[in-house]
Structure 1
Amino acid sequence: MAFVQLVALILLLLLITICSVAAEQEINKQNTVAAIRDNTQSSKISKLSLQGILQPAHVAFDLSSRPWNSKGTGNIILQQPSIAGVDRMTYSQTEEKVSLKGKGLDSEWLVPLTQSRRSISERRRQATETSANLEGGLITVGGYYTNISVGGQDVYVLIDTGSSTLAVISSDIEGRTNGIPFFNSSSSTMISCSSPQCQSNTCSSSLCQTNSCSSNQACCLNLGDKSGCFFNLQYGDGSGASGILFEDNVSLSGMAAKCSIGAIVNDTKGFQVGEALGILGLAFSRLACNPTCITPFFDELVSQENITDIFSISLSLSSGTLVLGGIDHSLYSGPVNYVPMENRSSNTYYIVASNGLSVDGTVLNETDGMMAAVDSGTTTLVFDEATYELLRSYFQSHYCSVPGLCPSAGSNTTWFSSNFCVVLDEQQLQNLPSISLQLKNNVVLSLNATDYMVQVQQSLTTGPFALASNSSSQVTTATDGGKSVRCLAINKLQGLKEISGLDMILGDTVLRKYYTIFDRQNSRIGFALSTNDVND
């Protein structure tokens, strides 16, 4: 009996020791993660608050390309980012922890790139889907925007499926001439700092950067004699916007809802895209906490207009269509292939699972559980560094006959390097392979060379793929005889996998080929071949 008790005591002590070691290892792991993330402060996505990542928070990718400055260097025009990277991301703080979840050759071949509220009518009405035209484009501005009406006044907003907040620049702030006059509008109602809608205990949030708090610790912003509920949108490239929350009537293509809107009083360089003076986030509500949580516009539209909880997007190079409440069958051909959303329990981003990447049928990486975000706010197809390097290595091992793809004598620069485009003729373009993305449910998204090597006009001087203003004289001869300037619409993002858990982001490079259905009602994403002319 004594022997049995001794054995039991030894086993108990061993169990306590194991638990203690495990706890210490977990603490060391968290410290290591904190150190790694702290060391990424100079990376493309380092502008994220470490507190926002390590504390209970969501990391919302809003990865839109931004215009780049140009700089001439001899016969090759270098394009260097005016901000830290071509992409941006936002994060929103909530009470639960997230569970995610851009070339110089010494030849003529390379040229440079860049809570539910009442209905307005106090009654629910059955509505069908409606369509809104999209302007902008992948090449010219790096994003797509549409016209909405706020309190009867029209304004363009960027369409973004990687964030959830509707925010528009306020025109009645000193120095502003465009936007919505929220503070002097008879229809807009400011959400005061003392309002129950202004969430208490948000002053401790890293997003609260006003040094003004209410008695119940709500995050506030004081403007003159007004004290409003503060919001703050931050992006990984250093851009951002902040201001005061308002309520107003918002309409889009014949449908309307009363909702919360961020009146932007401060924004950084790079926030505005093309003619857009704001952003319309179409992701789930759990991302709309900045730091006060609001109900996104589309959620309000579903509730107040009684439309189906689904929207779809069709993109071409320079235009597009946003369908709210349904599907427009004229915008695609063939079957719709659906992939389940992988974050159905948390409802944050639109994430689907991928099984890997292949080039002309050769599998480069076949790994179950890879994650891809479907994001209209991302201009290109984005890979984590490891996957991008696999793609580059395979291309340079098999297709060096294509000009500018592989290093040449005296230069290691190719169009897989940073910020250059290439001059190709049609035969050279046809020699490039197709790239296939394998998703769950055996859904394959295939891109051919004309999909991922976008054509850019020599005269283009703005947008993410802008050529330098003095570059036309250097490429005129090269583009004679049926040749064209082509830019690689695939990028890598440093730290993507480590910080977000994502392996890739399916941006506009993919969405302009595939009509994309965001079926929130059934927690799935549908892809079908778009009938848009992608080479317009």
Structure 2
Amino acid sequence: MKFTALCLASMVAASSALLRVPMKKRSDEEFLANRREVVAARANQLTDTGDVVINNYENAQYYGEISLGSPAQNFEVIFDTGSANLWVAGKDCSSTNCKGHPTYDSSASSDYVVNGTTFDIEYGSGACTGFLSQDTLNVGGLTLPEQIFAEITDASGMGVGYKVGKFDGILGLAFDELAVCGDPNDGGYIPGCVPTPFGRLASTGLIDEAVFSFYLGGLTPDFPANMTGFPGELTLGGIDEDHYTGDLAYVPVSKAGYWQITVDSVGIDGTDFSTADTREAIVDSGTSMLVGPPDAMDQLADKLGAKKMSSTGEYVVGCHKDLPDIEVTIAGVDYSISSDDYMLKDGPICILLMLGMDLGPEGLGWILGDVFMRKYYTVFDMDQERVGFALAKASE
């Protein structure tokens, strides 16, 4: 389960390379408009280098262009560290499910190879189903022939979030073990059954290191006049030192699959809202908020003087309030998230970019989503199974 609050025909020659994926940011204004639409819908129901522009869905789900097939068919996908599969809408996805999204047409590609294995995946925001296919993948100018991915035939489980979203699919960047295929209702999932795009970039030598790094752009100074926001960048194959200040501090992955790490504490003014049973966290570019245990998040919000909206589970507070930093301590290093980072204005009321969610057993309590990653440049090192953090430079 994924936790979240939402081409050339031949192989490029192996060479030393950093693959840079520029990232664009969806505006807060658009996020708020779509948030209202989602709430209304729920109420009614009760060495080569390459560049890909990456946008932000709901101010958090950063997406950019890839292509599949020969000739290329282009899609915008979320680059998601909280999952490991690649999927896009297939031509058999109904207009009700996939209206407004481009769909992959296998008959239009000379490189297509049939697979047909059942694909069924569930995210925190919903589920989607389809089947596996094989074709040429291009990301940022680098080409991976024979990449296995999923064609989605039913995205109804993703709900209105997919309908109003500007992403067409997801490209997972978690460990290969998290990639799945099969039907959970018919024999169960088969973990690790699909070689992931990033794993193949590393194993084929298209990038020097199995390392990628996220720099997430923020809002422009003239917001809301300029709604686009600063671009960010995903670097595949290494680190861009121009995007952070100071030194990177690394922490080991505690359990490979998700990018899971151990945190020392999550607190405000010395009050720790984590416990001995909830000190595992996932670093997840596909989640917009800081997510924690429901009771802990209620207590944290109460400490901030926020109120919980029963209809949406959101925490709101008056924008005039002067709120303290949230401190996340990892391997003895304190990472502060200021109110400017975790408050989103909606008129005179501010929404806290926090969510309470029960993430399951084994001590897993927290998700450090984009509200954290926008503040801290984040390095994911698959070879050494570690994650690094450094203060991100201000967007320019």
TM range (shorter): 0.7 to 0.9
User: Could you say which residue in structure 2 is the equivalent of 1:449?
Assistant: 339
Structure-1-length-normalised TM-score? 0.57
| Other structure's SS at 1:290 match | strand
Q: Distance in 1 between matches of 2:363 and 2:385?
A: 20
Q: Which is worse superposed, 270-279 or 374-383? A: 270-279
Structure-2-length-normalised TM-score? 0.76
Q: Residue by residue, what CA displacement relative to the aligned partner does 1:108-147 show, whole Å, maximum 9, x if unpaired?
A: xxxxxxxxxxx96468511311211223448423211101
The 5-angstrom pairing of residues 119-138 of structure 1 reads: 121=10, 125-137=14-26
Q: Distance in 2 between matches of 1:453 and 1:416?
A: 19
User: Could you say which residue in structure 1 is the equivalent of 2:224?
Assistant: none
Q: Does 1:507 align with 2:369?
A: yes
Q: Distance in 1 between matches of 2:350 and 2:217?
A: 16
| Other structure's SS at 1:261 match | strand
User: Could you say which residue in structure 1 is the equivalent of 2:65?
Assistant: 147
| Other structure's SS at 1:503 match | strand
Contact 1:182–1:188 (Cα < 8 Å) also in 2: no
The 5-angstrom pairing of residues 32-431 of structure 1 reads: 60-65=1-6, 121=10, 125-137=14-26, 139=28, 140=31, 141-142=57-58, 143-151=61-69, 152-171=72-91, 175=95, 178-192=101-115, 228-237=116-125, 239-258=126-145, 259-268=147-156, 269-270=159-160, 272=162, 274-291=165-182, 293-304=193-204, 305-317=206-218, 318=229, 319-343=231-255, 347-365=256-274, 367=276, 370-396=279-305, 405=306, 418-419=313-314, 421-425=316-320, 428=321, 431=322
| Other structure's SS at 2:324 match | coil
Q: Distance in 1 between matches of 2:68 and 2:278?
A: 42
Contact 1:137–1:316 (Cα < 8 Å) also in 2: no
TM-aligned CA deviation for residue 394 of structure 1: 3.2
Judged with a 3 Å threshold, the aligned counterparts in structure 2 of structure 1 residues 181 and 289 are, in CA distance, closer, same or farther, namely closer
Contact 2:128–2:154 (Cα < 8 Å) also in 1: yes
- The alignment's C-alpha RMSD in Å is 2.8
Contact 2:289–2:355 (Cα < 8 Å) also in 1: yes
Q: Residue by residue, what CA displacement relative to the aligned partner does 1:61-88 show, whole Å, maximum 9, x if unpaired?
A: 33045xxxxxxxxxxxxxxxxxxxxxxx
Opposite residue 165 of structure 1, the aligned amino acid is: N
Bigger Cα Rg: 1
Q: Distance in 2 between matches of 1:386 and 1:173?
A: 39
Q: Distance in 1 between matches of 2:313 and 2:94?
A: 39
Q: Distance in 2 between matches of 1:487 and 1:303?
A: 43
| Other structure's SS at 2:267 match | strand
Gaps of 5+ in 1: 1-59, 66-118, 193-227, 397-404, 407-412, 459-478, 480-484
Contact 2:319–2:345 (Cα < 8 Å) also in 1: no
Q: Residue by residue, what CA displacement relative to the aligned partner does 1:276-311 show, whole Å, maximum 9, x if unpaired?
A: 111111101111122251101111111221431000
Would you say how many aligned residue pairs link Structure 1 and Structure 2? 336
Q: Distance in 1 between matches of 2:326 and 2:310?
A: 17
TM-aligned CA deviation for residue 172 of structure 1: 5.5
Contact 2:314–2:354 (Cα < 8 Å) also in 1: no
Contact 2:251–2:386 (Cα < 8 Å) also in 1: yes
Q: Which is worse superposed, 137-146 or 289-298? A: 137-146
Q: Distance in 1 between matches of 2:296 and 2:129?
A: 35
TM-aligned CA deviation for residue 358 of structure 1: 2.4
TM-aligned CA deviation for residue 261 of structure 1: 1.2
Contact 1:355–1:368 (Cα < 8 Å) also in 2: no
TM-aligned CA deviation for residue 173 of structure 1: 5.1
TM-aligned CA deviation for residue 371 of structure 1: 0.2
Contact 1:415–1:421 (Cα < 8 Å) also in 2: no
TM-aligned CA deviation for residue 263 of structure 1: 1.1
User: Could you say which residue in structure 2 is the equivalent of 1:95?
Assistant: none
Q: Distance in 2 between matches of 1:499 and 1:138?
A: 35
Q: Distance in 1 between matches of 2:326 and 2:371?
A: 12
Contact 1:357–1:366 (Cα < 8 Å) also in 2: no
Contact 1:243–1:263 (Cα < 8 Å) also in 2: yes
TM-aligned CA deviation for residue 423 of structure 1: 3.9
Q: Distance in 2 between matches of 1:172 and 1:136?
A: 30
Q: Distance in 2 between matches of 1:501 and 1:363?
A: 16
Judged with a 3 Å threshold, the aligned counterparts in structure 2 of structure 1 residues 385 and 348 are, in CA distance, closer, same or farther, namely same
Q: Distance in 2 between matches of 1:149 and 1:167?
A: 12
| Other structure's SS at 1:338 match | strand
Q: Distance in 1 between matches of 2:199 and 2:5?
A: 23
Q: Residue by residue, what CA displacement relative to the aligned partner does 1:194-220 show, whole Å, maximum 9, x if unpaired?
A: xxxxxxxxxxxxxxxxxxxxxxxxxxx
Judged with a 3 Å threshold, the aligned counterparts in structure 2 of structure 1 residues 385 and 257 are, in CA distance, closer, same or farther, namely same
Judged with a 3 Å threshold, the aligned counterparts in structure 2 of structure 1 residues 530 and 416 are, in CA distance, closer, same or farther, namely farther
User: Could you say which residue in structure 2 is the equivalent of 1:531?
Assistant: 393
| Other structure's SS at 2:263 match | strand
Q: Which is worse superposed, 178-187 or 146-155? A: 178-187
Q: Distance in 1 between matches of 2:109 and 2:283?
A: 38
Opposite residue 319 of structure 2, the aligned amino acid is: L
| Other structure's SS at 2:82 match | coil
Gaps of 5+ in 2: 32-56, 183-189, 219-228
Judged with a 3 Å threshold, the aligned counterparts in structure 2 of structure 1 residues 298 and 270 are, in CA distance, closer, same or farther, namely farther
